[in-house]
Amino acid sequence: MIHAAGVAEVTDADFEAEVLGERGRPVLVEFTADWCGPCRQLAPVLSAVAAEQADRLKVVQIDADTNPDTVTRYGVLSMPTLIVFRDGEPVQQMVGARPKRRLLQELEAVTAPGPAVAATA
């Protein structure tokens, strides 16, 4: 698997605990594979996002070739596929490598602090 520095690896065995069980911050999961060229391009982007957004976003990778149960469960057909989970549910999916700025823009909705509750008079 192409490993992004500072990004944890999850497997079929611990996906539920590490991703679905995470509460309080969304989890960005990259489905990757050794043979995937665009995954190599995305690795430094994921490393940077993981470091910069650590307080608001958990970033993990899963090797699609060695974890077929999770790949099948979420219908992943292309690498890299990025799925954002919030409170155990997939809320956003992106396919393909992208520059850091674009990825951060796409993640804004899930990493932004929740809306403030409006005061009623």
Q: List the catalytic residues.
A: 36, 39
The Cα 105–Cα 84 span in angstroms is 14
Return the SS3 of 50.
Answer: helix
Residue 43's CB is within 10 A of a number of other CB atoms, namely 20
Query: Closest Cα partner for 111 from 91, 88, 89?
Result: 91
For the chain, what is the radius of gyration of the CA atoms? 15
